[in-house]
Amino acid sequence: MPILRRVLLAAFLAWAGMATAQERSITVASTTSTEQSGLFSHILPLFTQASGIAVRVVALGTGQALDVGRRGDADVVFVHDRAAEQRFVAEGFGGPRRRVMYNDFVLVGPATDPAGIAGLTDSTAALQRIAVARAPFISRGDRSGTHAAELRLWQMAGVDPVSGRGQWYREVGQGMGPALNTAAAQNAYLLADRGTWLSFRNRQELKILVEGDARLFNQYGVMLVNPQRHPGVKAAEGQRFIDWLVSPAGQAAIAAYKISGEQLFFPNADKPEPGA
């Protein structure tokens, strides 16, 4: 009997340990840019070390990541499409939204630059030239924050790229890394976030051609999924992650992430959001 009790006690303790480990983890639905740029590989171990909470990342386009949050399949969403984030909060799926960091988008393309956009600081004028030249352009086409930003720029440029779909305008329906690979293989233009571009190694003939336009500003926000709508949400652990991201420690960790000495993301949790 004592042996049986010891076996049962050992089994119970093992089960309790697994349950505790499961409770001390969260799922974050985020973007491919935060993962493929290497940012999460840098900051998540620091958060786990500070909190004891492990983070599982589901990396998708922003629209898909928000859908994951709407279904309650994540505890936190960390994305970059302010309008979509505000809808998410207004619909009662989560919030409040907190600013975390920013970088910018860049228009990249082949060194030969058939549309002649190199050096422009007006991104919409650059898109107009690409459309007139019918130069190959790769779109993520995946409802990501980058895709949403690209579509807004086309609209501001007065160009409907759908008319060129399957010809000069090609949608790949994939994340930033695969889209960059496609653009490199086809010597095409592409709107990319600077963070993923800096970490991208297979550039071939691609280079940054247009940057510095205020319309290329790229803000990231984070929100807790509403635990009242989805009782399974780990609200305490998720909120701790959010609080860490916007704390001095989290903001310093984000600022410290660099590639070849160049900073990829700029923390701004305590600053007014441009264009707000």
Please report the pLDDT score of residue 18 as a whole number.
46
Domains 26-102+219-267 and 103-216 are alike in CATH topology: yes
| pLDDT of the chain, 276 residues: tens digit per residue | 455 445 445 554 554 444 444 459 999 999 988 998 999 999 999 999 999 999 999 999 999 999 999 999 999 999 999 999 999 999 999 999 999 999 999 999 999 999 999 999 999 999 999 999 999 999 999 989 999 999 999 999 999 998 878 789 999 999 899 999 999 999 999 999 999 999 898 899 999 999 999 999 999 999 999 999 999 999 999 999 999 999 999 999 999 999 999 999 999 999 876 654
Please report the pLDDT score of residue 162 as a whole number.
84
| Cα 174 to Cα 31, 147, 181, distances in angstroms | 11, 10, 11
Any idea what the Cα angle at residue 212 is, between residues 118 and 208, rounded to 5°? 40
The residues, ordered by sequence, that sit 6+ positions from 132 with a Cβ below 8 Å of its Cβ are 115
Which residues on adjacent β-strands are paired with residue 29?
A: 58, 77
Please report the pLDDT score of residue 163 as a whole number.
83
Of the candidates 200, 220, 214, the residue with the CA atom closest to the CA atom of residue 80: 220
Please report the pLDDT score of residue 184 as a whole number.
96
CATH topology of domain 103-216: D-Maltodextrin-Binding Protein; domain 2 (3.40.190)
Domain 26-102+219-267 has CATH 3.40.50.10260: no
SS3 label, residue 27: strand
* Per-domain residue ranges of the chain: 26-102+219-267, 103-216
